[in-house]
Amino acid sequence: MEFMNVTAAYDQKEVLSDFSLQIKQGQITALLGPSGSGKTTVLRLFAGLLKPKSGHVVRPEKCAVVFQEDRLLPYATLRENWALVTSDQQWMEKTAALLGLGDWMDQLISTFSGGMKRRAALGRALCFPSDVFLLDEPLTGIDPVQKQQLLQVLQTAFTGKTVLWITHDAREALAIAQQIIVVGGSPMQIRAQREICPDSLSFQQEQDALRWIDQALAN
């Protein structure tokens, strides 16, 4: 996936100007930056939900998307929500167990807590038959303990997949991504980028990386 000299506007505001970006195939890339910097516009362009004013977007033929909103059917069960993207009952059951929702497959989404709805939205994306995932603040509303567990689960689930993981949480990015791209400014610019290995980060390396991110955001 790639942007080549893309200019784009959202809500009549120019968010990207002559902007280029490459998301490497088969790995998790975290797009890290403050709220309102245009990260969601990047997702919408890659998903084909927004057209650029100029430039070229190389986007996947199909992709699974998790938006900032859960976008679930509240008066349908979890199984019925996921059945909209797959008919594979065995895969649904496996995904539900993976996300701690195994006992909730036939419960209405309206009975779920906020964190459970978020996991349900993630599960729907995992059920969709795709090797490309676009995730906008995917762990919003999930408590810190569950977040750490989910990061480990999702890192395994996304092995070999192409993932754009949008977040404003530096620690979250360091825990999941093989590449971190720090963005900011208006129109949005790339402040810094670095490849990392989240599985082998020492405490000192994590602290160094956090300082690098802070410096990039401050520029």
Domains, the chain, in order of start with CATH, read 2-208 (3.40.50.300)
CA distance 216 to 117: 33
Per-residue pLDDT of the chain (219 residues; tens, 9 = 90+): 999 999 999 888 899 999 999 999 999 999 999 988 899 999 999 999 999 999 999 999 999 999 999 999 999 999 999 999 999 999 999 999 999 999 999 999 999 999 999 999 999 999 999 999 999 999 998 999 999 999 999 999 999 999 999 999 999 999 999 999 999 999 999 999 999 988 888 889 999 999 999 999 987
Q: Taking the chain, what is the end-to-end CA distance rounded to the nearest angstrom?
A: 27
Per-residue pLDDT of 17-41, as tens digits, reads 999 999 999 999 999 999 888 999 9
CA distance 142 to 139: 6
Mean pLDDT of the chain: 95
Task: Choose among 209, 208, 204: nearest CA to 176.
Answer: 209
